[in-house]
A = this chain, B = another copy of it.
Amino acid sequence: MDIRQYIATKRQQIDTALERYLPEDESTLAEHIKAMRYSIFAGGKRVRPILCLAAAEAVKDFNNEFPDSVMLSACALECIHTYSLIHDDLPAMDDDDLRRGMPTNHMVYGEACAILAGDSLLTYAFDLLSRDVRETIPAHDRLTIISLISRAVGPEGMVGGQFLDLTHEGKEAQYTMLRDIHSRKTGALITASVQTGGVLGSSSPEQFKALTRYGIQIGLAFQIVDDLLNVEGTEEQLGKAAGSDAARNKATYPALFGVDKTRKKAQEALQEALATLDDFDERADRLRDLARYVVSRKR
């Protein structure tokens, strides 16, 4: 099975689980739940849940049959990612009309309802993460996962990154600040996704450390490539306006280093990500393939 097939299979599994776990839109709250579901099923690549599942498989044999708490965690990661996109797109924030080629949440449901859809997706993630399922993952490990994820996406993680990104928009690009913003805004949740998979697969402390380093490098590679795609991609490929970062005078890798050096930096991050997995056996091949895929992707 090549990596594209692996991604497609996993994506399907995750979509099925999301369909099953998200609340039904048949209550008095139908419109609110529709708004949550709209952004969840708006064509996301499912990068974070896939990384979570691949990391779990890198340390434990699941034979593609994941217990509920694994799928619940994977779905929670996607809920959090989706909430962050809805809030980032808001008029008061980045004010984006399009996301993945579709109107953003607030363009469809209005600003107030979009804020609430984001709030609910964030909250719902912790509902999924704490759901009472009778099975083998110890309660203590599930608490650890909640702690890892909430720290990654809280004031000193993802939200902090968005705050810095907003308040530094238009200011001169500085490499230290750029790395800081990226590592909080994108890197932290990607790293937590890999760590979550590690905990779900009962990783040893050494494996957990290696997976953490892998997560940091893959998060970095992901963001560098995002910056490159924003410069080089077409609007059709991106599903949003190309060149929007430059228009906003945002600090990006290409703006700081030029395209060629930025490509080299993505390759370096890939090599470092692969190196972190040196002590893993072939069960980590999916993580290796995913690292290569992240760097070569076109959207």
Instruction: Give A residues with C-beta under 8 Å from B.
Output: 23, 27-29, 31-33, 36, 87, 90, 92-93, 110-113, 115-116, 118-120, 122-124, 126-127, 129-132, 138-140, 142-144, 146-147, 150-151, 153-156, 159-160, 162-164, 166-167, 180
Beta-carbon contact of A143 and B151 below 8 Å: no
A100 to B147 Cα, complex, angstroms: 32
> Please, which residues of chain B bring their CB within 8 A of the CB of A164?
28-29
Evaluate contact between A23 and B130: CB separation under 8 angstroms.
no
Give Cα A272 to B268, complex, Å: 67
Q: Which residues of B contact A153 (CB under 8 A)?
A: 123
A159: which B residues are within 8 A, CB to CB?
32, 116, 119-120, 123
B-chain residues with CB within 8 Å of residue A27 when the two chains form the complex: 156
Cβ–Cβ < 8 Å partners of A144 in chain B: 130, 132
Q: Which of B93, B123, B142, B154 is the one whose CB lies under 8 Å from A154? A: B123
Residues of B contacting A116 in the complex (Cβ-Cβ under 8 angstroms): 87, 159, 162-163, 166
Chain B residues within 8 Å of A180, by CB: 28
Contact, CB under 8 Å: A160 / B120: yes
Contact A115 B93 (CB under 8 A): yes
Known: A29-B164, A33-B155, A116-B163. A147 touches B122 (CB 8 A): no
Residues of B within 8 A of A113 (CB): 163, 166-167
Q: Chain B residue with minimal CB distance to A157?
A: B123
Q: Give Cα A147–Cα B132 distance, bound, in whole angstroms.
A: 8
A187 CA to B156 CA, complexed, in Å: 31
A242 to B101: give the CA distance in the assembly, Å: 46
Instruction: Using CB atoms, name the residue of chain B closest to A145.
Output: B130
Contact yes or no, A155 B115, CB < 8 A: no
| Chain A contact residues, majority secondary structure | helix
6 inter-chain pairs at a CB distance below 8 angstroms, sorted by A residue, are A115-B115, A123-B153, A126-B126, A127-B147, A130-B144, A139-B139
Q: How far is the CB of A21 from chain B (nearest CB, A)?
A: 12
Question: A122 is contacted by which of B32, B92, B122, B132 (Cβ under 8 Å)?
Answer: B122
A120 neighbours in B (Cβ, 8 Å): 154-155, 159-160
Structural contact, B160 and A147, CB atoms closer than 8 A: no
CA of A166 to CA of B124 in the docked complex: distance in angstroms?
20
CA distance A69 to B45 in the complex (A): 37
Tell me the smallest distance from the CB of A171 to a CB of chain B, in Å. Answer: 13
Other A-B pairs beyond A92-B112, A93-B112, A131-B147, 19, CB < 8 Å: A29-B156, A29-B163, A31-B167, A32-B155, A32-B160, A90-B115, A113-B167, A116-B159, A118-B119, A119-B122, A120-B159, A122-B122, A123-B159, A124-B154, A127-B150, A127-B151, A132-B147, A139-B140, A143-B143
In the assembled complex, the Cα of A93 lies from the Cα of B112 at a distance in Å of 6
